[in-house]
Chain A
Amino acid sequence: MKRFFASDFFYDFMRSPVALVSFLIVLFLILSAVFAGVLAPTNPFDAASLNLMNGFTPPMEPNLFTGDVFWMGTDDQGRDLFSAILYGLRISLFVGAMAVALATVMGVLLGLIAGYMGGWLDNLIMRFADIQMTFPSILVAMLIFGVARGILPPELRDEMAITVLIVSIGLSEWVPFARTVRGSTLVEKEKEYIAAARLIGLNRWQIMIRHILPNVLNPVLVIATITLALAIIAEATLSFLGVGAPRTEPSLGTLIRVGQDFLFSGEWWILLFPASTLLALALSVNLFGDWLRDKLNPRLK
């Protein structure tokens, strides 16, 4: 740990305003989401606690009927927007992180296999990847989502919504991981330490996991960070389109959809606050990912 703080990486990190600010924003948002239970004044998912009379209250103004004040106003059903955003952040982050994890594991494994084993297996995996890449990932996610929805019985649909979201977004994002890992694997495969491993009788899986994997993971962190931003936006998009998180457990995307309906009737806050939060999150993750990529680039001769 101490070695990390003394390293060149940390040194550069402390000196880059972009890295610091974006990292802090992401950290702030993550902590807000984690401690939503503590920070939020109300529980927006509990339908029983909602008071319809509180609906459409502007931010920081007392409600005409109940006199309650809400920092960011309320939506059409009287939900406190501030609380809704905190809980919505949770869903956005959770879905994003789990989807990225799924994409990473799947992509890295497939990339390793394709690169090391070569032959028809490599061809199969890469053509599969090519085909998938011709479709926009949102479409792929919707397709998988639709199929899953069709398979699941109606009672489970809302409960499983989050899981299905994770699986569909994850499955649509594995390709960059696989391609990059495959490329690095092809390079590492030719190096003499792999020949040395073969000389002591290790089988293919042992070589792939023990020897090649640690050496191809470098770019994976960067791709994962950027994919996280994509996954968050993807989830928001799906929710916005109505096929993601339901209204009862709204994510940021769902809130934006609601807000959009009311924008032109004057209740601007229902759109503005969730949208700004989403923007801040996605932008910060993206910027940090970009900085990471430049920093981790093998620039040393």
Chain B
Amino acid sequence: MSFITAKNLTRRYDLSDPWIVRQLTFRPKRFLTAVNDVSFSVEKGTTYALVGESGSGKSTIAKMAVGLLAPSAGTITLDNHNLNDPNLSPQNQQAMRRRIQMVFQSPYASLNPRWRVGDILAEPIQSFDLIQGAKNQAKRVDELLEQVGLSPSDAKKYPHEFSGGQRQRISIARALSSQPEVIICDEPTSALDVSVQAQVLNLLKSLQKEFSLTYLFITHDLAVVSSVANRIGVLNKGALVEEASPKELFTNPKQDYTRMLLNAAPKML
């Protein structure tokens, strides 16, 4: 049963010159198609990886999946609900938001530097009205911190007191705080060192098992993907060019672009 379904997902940006300029220079309107008719489906409890270079549209798809950006055409739905539906009531929108959260790429820009970690983690709990009472909320915050391998005493610290890897853990804890069913991971380890990356990837894996999470994993690194994904989709300039399981993709790539990516990836001896 497909849990996340993208159908003919498209996103266009209008880069035309202003009307006056166009009239004077006889230039047509110009559009940039960042995502072009992309369709895929993700089974519940699995990890689907979207791999592509910069400009492939993978981040745009992630934003559309989570409701930050509206598609120009097509839909992306979670359990058959469309987050981008303009007719959704605010309550339904909130209910949908609770079920799908995101972990971002930059450990430095994804946490508000002026807030304490405890407050950052408590905010979604309060906003979704999941637990009432400051004491109970604080308990949940402690629980979340421990789930990602940090300690309750970290709640009173500020983000800058943590390393990049620890900050990503805090981001993951924040994503978990609304008890979502889906987490969109937008290049969560690209900014991290190799040894830290391994820790964070392993953490994501164990959390997936523990909470039956479904992941949409965005990355440019084919090697990372081979250890986390059940299924891989390769994006090139906004189009989905190939889709397969990791084994199939690496041993028998069908498209030239995929082959090129595999060849270009630096190989360890």
Per-residue A-contact encoding for B160-204, CB less than 8 Å = 1, 0 else: 000000000001001000100000000000000000000000000
Q: In whole Å, how far is A8's beta carbon from the nearest beta carbon of chain B?
A: 14
Which chain A residues border B123 with CB–CB below 8 Å? 197, 200
Task: Point out the residues of chain A lying under 8 angstroms from B115, CB to CB.
Answer: 214
> Which of A51-59, A79-87, A188-196, A262-270 lines the interface with chain B?
A188-196
- Return the contact of B109 from the options A191, A199, A200, A201 (Cβ within 8 A): A191
A196 and B102 within 8 A (CB): yes
Q: Are B174 and A196 in contact (CB under 8 A)?
A: yes
Q: How far is the CB of A301 from chain B (nearest CB, A)?
A: 13
Query: B110-130 toward A: CB 8 Å interface, digit per residue (1/0)?
Result: 111111000000011001100
The reply to whether B104 and A195 contact each other, CB–CB distance below 8 Å, is yes
Contacts of A200 in B (CB 8 A): 97, 123-124, 127-128, 178
B2 beta carbon closer than 8 Å to chain A = no
Q: Contact string, A182-216, partner B, CB cutoff 8 A, digits 1/0?
A: 00000000011101111111100000000100110
A115, B113: Cα distance in complex, Å: 19
Closest beta carbon of chain B to A299's beta carbon, Å: 16
Chain A contacts of B110 at CB under 8 A? 191-193, 196
Q: Chain A residue with minimal CB distance to B180?
A: A199
Q: Which residues of B contact A214 (CB under 8 A)?
A: 112, 114-115
A277 CB to nearest B CB, Å: 39
Most interface-central of A191, A192, A197, A215 (chain B CB within 10 A): A192
Q: Which residues of A contact B104 (CB under 8 A)?
A: 192, 195-196
Q: Is A192 within 8 A of B109, CB to CB?
A: yes
Q: Decide: B97 and A192 in contact? CB cutoff 8 A.
A: no
Contact among A191, A193, A202 with B127 in the assembled complex (CB-CB below 8 Å): A202
- The smallest C-beta distance from B144 to any residue of chain A, in angstroms, reads 14
Residues A195 and B114 in contact, CB atoms below 8 Å apart: no
Are B113 and A215 in contact, with the CB atoms below 8 A?
yes
**Across the interface, do A195 and B112 meet the contact criterion of CB distance under 8 Å?**
no
- Given contact pairs A196-B174, A198-B68, A215 touches B93 in the complex (Cβ within 8 A): no
Bound: A215/B115 CA distance, A: 10
B114→A215 contact, CB < 8 A? yes
Q: Which of A145-199 contact B (CB under 8 A)?
A: 191-193, 195-199
Q: How many A-B residue pairs have CB under 8 A?
A: 48
CB contact list, B20-76 vs A, under 8 A: 66-68
Q: Which residues of A sit under 8 angstroms from B128, Cβ to Cβ?
A: 200-201
B5 at the interface (CB under 8 A from A): no
The minimal Cβ–Cβ distance linking A3 to chain B, given in whole angstroms, is 12
Give the distance in Å from the alpha carbon of A192 to the alpha carbon of B113 in the complex.
12
B181 → chain A closest CB, angstroms = 14
Which of A195, A199, A200, A201: most chain B Cβ within 10 A?
Answer: A199
Residue B105 at the chain A interface, CB threshold 8 Å: yes
* A196-B124 Cα distance, complex, nearest whole Å: 9
What CA separation (Å) do A192 and B110 show in the bound complex?
A: 4
- On whether the beta carbons of B97 and A199 are closer than 8 Å, the reply is yes
* Max count, chain A CB within 10 A of own CB: residue among B106, B112, B115, B174: B112
CA distance A175 to B68 in the complex (A): 32
B112 cross-chain contacts in A, Cβ below 8 A: 193, 197, 211, 214-215
B106 CB, nearest partner CB in chain A, Å: 6
B101 at interface, CB cutoff 8 A? yes
Which residues on the B side are within 8 Å of A202 (C-beta)? 127
- Complex Cα distance A211/B113, Å? 9
A201 CB contacts on chain B under 8 angstroms: 93-94, 97, 127-128
User: Do A193 and B109 have beta carbons less than 8 Å apart?
Assistant: yes
Give CA–CA (A202, B127) in the complex, Å.
7
Report Cα–Cα, A196/B112, bound state, in Å. Answer: 10
Q: How far is the CA of A198 from the CA of B70 in the complex (A)?
A: 14
* B94-A192 in contact (CB<8A): no
Contacts of B102 in A (CB 8 A): 195-196, 199
Contacts of B113 in A (CB 8 A): 215
Closest chain A CB from B58 CB (angstroms): 16
Q: State how many angstroms separate the Cβ of A90 from the closest Cβ of chain B.
A: 36
The docked-state distance in angstroms from the alpha carbon of A66 to that of B124 is 76
CA of A193 to CA of B121 in the docked complex: distance in angstroms? Answer: 12
Taken together as a complex, chains A and B put the C-alpha atoms of A215 and B101 apart, in Å, by 24
CA A61 to CA B178, docked complex, whole Å: 79
Known: A195-B102, A198-B68. 12 other contacts (CB 8 A): A191-B106, A192-B104, A192-B110, A193-B109, A193-B110, A195-B68, A199-B67, A199-B97, A199-B101, A201-B93, A214-B112, A214-B114
Report 26 cross-chain contacts, Cβ distance below 8 Å, ordered by A residue. A191-B106, A191-B110, A192-B104, A192-B106, A192-B109, A193-B109, A193-B112, A195-B104, A196-B102, A196-B104, A196-B110, A196-B171, A197-B112, A197-B123, A199-B66, A199-B68, A199-B101, A199-B102, A200-B97, A200-B123, A200-B127, A200-B128, A201-B97, A201-B127, A202-B127, A214-B115
